[in-house]
Structure 1
């Protein structure tokens, strides 16, 4: 699945480049993501994804395959696996930055492969979710890059919440995805009832 997103941030391209490479700074802007370790090239961490009543946690790592400061181009290869399940997620992200009207235009091309429960949503839903998440990320990043007023209160850091796919997708997409979630829950319930019958439990 290939996805493409663009957003702008209100700072010159060199400053935007340094900020986007500051993984520990930008990670809180991505819903559900947490960074455990970063050595300047490899990032280790986790992403929590909530699909209706089900929460899936992926743990894995991402490696910067390319960081071209002159061209302002970066390539990040990421991969993760469910901590309780067989699902996997792999992505190659190619980002390019370009100065535009005093700010920076950021273009991100993602080649994404997902297996397991979130994959049931299909490309259309995942693309819409991606659009919303990139919008949230860009707004958060822009807020970080904009100096606060001198008398502004310091915001307290909140615990990381899982990425809620249904909420991120919005009501129309959530209605389409509800059937998938219901089917997944139904399969789990049927499997549990069958297991109880085999073991003689009531």
Structure 2
């Protein structure tokens, strides 16, 4: 299944481009994600936990930047993972494109996801999966903007002032899930269906 999302960050494109490649720094902003190993500058291992009502899924796998084009500020990431309880797997190809906007940079995301095994049964409704992805990206972007704001220098600079200590590392985001998420995803999916009529 394919779907598109976007979010904005309050940074110029050059800074946003550098930040979005810093996986170790931004991974804690993603709900339910845990970076477990840096294989090399482009390859990573990790886990992602998602809960939909009574169904809790935890995928362990790898992600790799297959393409990084600084001139066009576009990237492609391939990711694959398997559910730790053996219920199937997920493969995704995610494209990113940075676009300058008045408030900073918009990040346009195109995702192509394939689910296999029993996990595919949970993802039968593409609208539900899209709504969950939108919720994940929404929470990620909120935490990312909060991290950027915390790292921003003070508005006024006093040469005699002692620089503030570096901000503490961002605590990992809690796994996304629960009844609230399922309800928001269901309502979003129903709005998309009835909105077509």
TM-score, L = length of structure 2 = 0.78
Relative to structure 1, the CA distance from residue 69 to residue 83 in structure 2 (aligned partners, 3 Å threshold; closer, same or farther) is: same
Unaligned runs of at least 5 residues, structure 2: 155-162, 190-197
Unaligned runs of at least 5 residues, structure 1: 177-202
The answer to which structure has the higher helix fraction is 1
Relative to structure 1, the CA distance from residue 169 to residue 51 in structure 2 (aligned partners, 3 Å threshold; closer, same or farther) is: closer
Partner of residue 181, structure 2: 168
Q: Which has the larger Rg?
A: 1
Is the CA contact 2:69–2:75 (under 8 Å) kept in the aligned structure 1?
yes
Q: After superposition, where does 1:1-202 map in structure 2 within 5 Å? A: 1-38=1-38, 39-115=40-116, 116-117=118-119, 119-121=121-123, 122-146=125-149, 147=152, 158=171, 161-164=174-177, 166-171=179-184, 173=186
Which has the bigger relative contact order, CA under 8 A and spacing at least 6?
2
Q: Structure 1 residue runs of 4+, over 3 Å off?
A: 148-152, 154-161, 169-172
CA distance in 2, matches of 1:80, 1:30: 16
Paired residues, what number?
174
Relative to structure 1, the CA distance from residue 17 to residue 62 in structure 2 (aligned partners, 3 Å threshold; closer, same or farther) is: same
TM-score, L = length of structure 1 = 0.76
CA distance in 1, matches of 2:11, 2:173: 27
Partner of residue 192, structure 2: none
Is the CA contact 1:51–1:118 (under 8 Å) kept in the aligned structure 2?
no
RMSD: 2.6
CA distance in 2, matches of 1:32, 1:18: 23
CA distance in 2, matches of 1:18, 1:156: 18
